[in-house]
Structure 1
Amino acid sequence: MTKSRFVTACAAAIGAVSLWVCLLLVGMAQAAEQQKKIRIAIPSIVIDFAPLWIARDKGIFRDERIDPEVTYIQGNVRVVQSLVAGETQFGIAGSAGAVSARAAGEDVIIIAVPMNRLDYTFVSRQPINKPADLAGKKVGIGAVGGSDEVATRIALEKLGVNLSSVTMLTVGGSAERLAALRVGSVDAATVGGATFIGGGAGLHKVIDLTDLGVEFPFTAIFTTKRYAAANRDAVLGFIRGYMRGVRFFQENKEEAIAITARNLRTTNKELLERQWAYVKDHVFEKIPNPSEKGFKLIFDMLSPRNPKVAALRMEDVFDGSYIKELLDKGFFK
């Protein structure tokens, strides 16, 4: 090979390598750009949020071009507050907090309701045989205006207990309320069904609200109207990813339990199997649409203390266009 040909060949090789590197960098940049970074807040670390962990850990969100960060913020109301403050882009928590925020004029909108029934059990330290047994007692709730407080009020009304005869104390999420019961800080509380299965030994089940068949937007996915308007594809992708996580949870017992165990930091497989069986059959909706009846119940329960809630309609707090679009495209078949 002559010197000139050698130089030409080297130049061609260098050019080809440079082109390959450039294309690789462009591809990496495009891939990074396509992954929408989002931060999601949840109010407690319980098995109910397993679909979220599954969608993240199994790469389901990545398939939907979403790069998620899940953060724990204690209490449903604080989850809403983090969203309003711009610290997070999505919240998954009780819908009552989002309703109260909307009544206050905050830019919060519910986009899906994957749990549309009351998944709470009202439990106590001592047996409750008549309404008077709760008179003067302390009842633990997560936050004033939260879904757990609404559920507690429903339970007390079903039991015939005058609300003015008990004292409600804010003690945190379901796990914290269970701990408060054990140490005697409160006498009764509503806790999540799976949480009660996991740690309710020695406590007394007073009423299982799930058995009442009450329609109620128990756990909602919400964001801000501003974010949703500017990031519709991300909102649709997040709903798809979460609901794919629900299906994976229901259909893949062993792997779902393994992922849940890692995120709950527990090795108690027997307990997780019982919780998985309960959550699989009792918690999630196939189509995460709420009902007018369920929202009316929230409005009726919150409006005596917050008159602005009385003026709300379901369409003021829930944007059904995202679920409708996914239905029209056949996602939920």
Structure 2
Amino acid sequence: MPPTRSPRRALTAAVALLTLTLTTACGAGAADGAQTRQLRYQGSVGQVTLPELAADLGYLGDVTLDWIGNVTGGPADIQATATGQSDFGGAFNGAIVKLQTAGAPITAVVSYYGSDAQTFQGYYVLDDSPIRGPRDLIGKRVGMNTLGAHAEAVLRTWLARGGLTAAEIGKVELVALPPVNTEQSLRARQIDVAVLGGVIRDKAVAGGGIRTVFTDYELLGAFSAGSYVFRDDFLTRNPDTVRTFVTAVGKAIEWARTQPRETVVARLKAIIAERGRNEDTTLVEYWKSSGVAEPGGLITDREFATWIDWLADSGELKGERPKPSDLYTNRFNAAATPGGGA
């Protein structure tokens, strides 16, 4: 399994595509000036996104979702949004920083996933692995869902805090793998460490034979890690639609936070069954929480500042560091108004 191409090259290609397509991007608003009430998006196999849950709960009102396919990584999802292939997309906040500072006119509007005591990303090895600490990863292979995103940022932060130099960190080989294949690759000893999160992690742990090296929650505490973004032109032309969407996602977060786990799981399974995509519902049986830290998915400076600093210190950002407040807005979220939450 060769490592995938450099995430920096992928980002450069995405920005080049963005330059070519922004002038003809679709979905920015109807020709007569009316706001669009249909949102194109990419889903996730065997799982239910928060917008899909919000739609099923009736929170979207007359705003409808148009599923255009599935995506396996956040960077690809927000690149599709930036280039007009979809109307919204979600990714790790560090990936949003990289794409926006590279010239993409996108803005984060609501958090949609994070890490807490129940839901987190862990770095797992086989029980008989000699890997215990940061220095043990030098020369080893780490499998994760996508490069240049959450899993890589957390790993490099852990390695740096463990005393590794930039040159030593560069000797840790990163391998991009679909989440559903990562556990299998670890058990087949094709990789030395597997990054597993959410329901996929719980299913793998339930199978036995693996142990945790560290988790992002242990490293950073509870935090929202990723946000949904829209293109800036879409926000300008469709503010009411975006407000409906953001507030609905926030309500879905709070609904899932306050309902018994069994109620949420049953709802997610029913949604998967009703949409008829021939999917396995096993993963949602392990659902525990969205991991979103703030009420209604509100975004805070901290959720971007952490990754701005990391990207700048690692040389990924050139020039002046952006301000976190330049990357996101809560103005479309009813939860930002006293008494206006879910």
Q: Find 1:137's aligned residue among 112, 131, 140.
A: 140
Aligned length: 290
Q: Find 1:66's aligned residue among 63, 67, 72.
A: 63
Deviations 1:65-119 (A, max 9, x none): 2111244212111101111121111112222222111011111110112445473
Q: Find 1:288's aligned residue among 292, 297, 321.
A: 297
Q: Which amino acid aligns with 2:229?
A: F
Deviation at 1:284, TM superposition (A): 5.1
Percent identity at matched positions? 20
Q: CA RMSD of the aligned region, Å?
A: 2.8
Change (3 A) 1:183 1:154: same
Q: Counterpart of 1:91?
A: 89
Change (3 A) 1:120 1:140: same
Q: Superposition pairs for residues 120-159 of structure 1, below 5 Å? A: 120-125=121-126, 126-159=129-162
Q: Which amino acid aligns with 1:36?
A: R
Change (3 A) 1:113 1:328: same
Partner of 2:86, secondary structure, is coil
Q: Counterpart of 2:212?
A: 205
Deviation at 1:51, TM superposition (A): 3.1
In 2, distance between residues paired with 1:159 and 1:46?
36
Deviation at 1:209, TM superposition (A): 1.7
Q: Counterpart of 1:231?
A: 238
Change (3 A) 1:169 1:129: same
In 1, distance between residues paired with 2:35 and 2:264?
28
Deviations 1:235-262 (A, max 9, x none): 1111122122223323154442123235
Deviations 1:177-211 (A, max 9, x none): 33432333321132214321122332221112213
Q: Which amino acid aligns with 1:169?
A: V
Deviation at 1:34, TM superposition (A): 8.5
Partner of 1:308, secondary structure, is coil
Q: Which amino acid aligns with 1:228?
A: L
Deviations 1:30-56 (A, max 9, x none): xxx9981101234x4465x45333222
Q: Counterpart of 2:315?
A: 305
Partner of 2:39, secondary structure, is strand
Change (3 A) 1:56 1:180: farther
Change (3 A) 1:283 1:110: closer
Q: Is the 8 A contact 2:222 2:293 kept in 1?
A: no
Instruction: Give the structure with the higher percent helix.
Output: 1
Q: Counterpart of 1:256?
A: 264
Change (3 A) 1:51 1:217: closer
Q: Counterpart of 1:56?
A: 55
Change (3 A) 1:283 1:82: same
Partner of 1:321, secondary structure, is coil
Q: Is the 8 A contact 2:141 2:193 kept in 1?
A: yes
Deviation at 1:327, TM superposition (A): 2.6
In 2, distance between residues paired with 1:217 and 1:77?
17
Partner of 2:103, secondary structure, is coil
Partner of 1:191, secondary structure, is strand
Partner of 2:105, secondary structure, is coil
Deviation at 1:127, TM superposition (A): 4.6
Partner of 1:287, secondary structure, is helix
User: Gapped runs of 5+ residues in structure 1?
Assistant: 1-32
Deviations 1:121-165 (A, max 9, x none): 111232522444322111123333212211221233344454123
| Greater shift in the superposed pair: 157-166 or 291-300 | 157-166
Change (3 A) 1:116 1:88: same
Q: Find 1:167's aligned residue among 162, 173, 178.
A: 173
In 2, distance between residues paired with 1:232 and 1:38?
13
Change (3 A) 1:243 1:293: closer
Change (3 A) 1:149 1:267: closer
Deviations 1:254-294 (A, max 9, x none): 442123235394455xx755x33x326x4453232233233
TM-score by length of 2: 0.74
**Is 2:342 the partner of 1:328?**
no
Change (3 A) 1:142 1:266: closer
Deviation at 1:230, TM superposition (A): 0.6
Q: Counterpart of 1:10?
A: none
Change (3 A) 1:308 1:114: same
Q: Find 1:109's aligned residue among 100, 107, 110.
A: 107
Q: Counterpart of 2:199?
A: 194
Q: Find 2:187's aligned residue among 182, 188, 199.
A: 182
Larger radius of gyration: 1
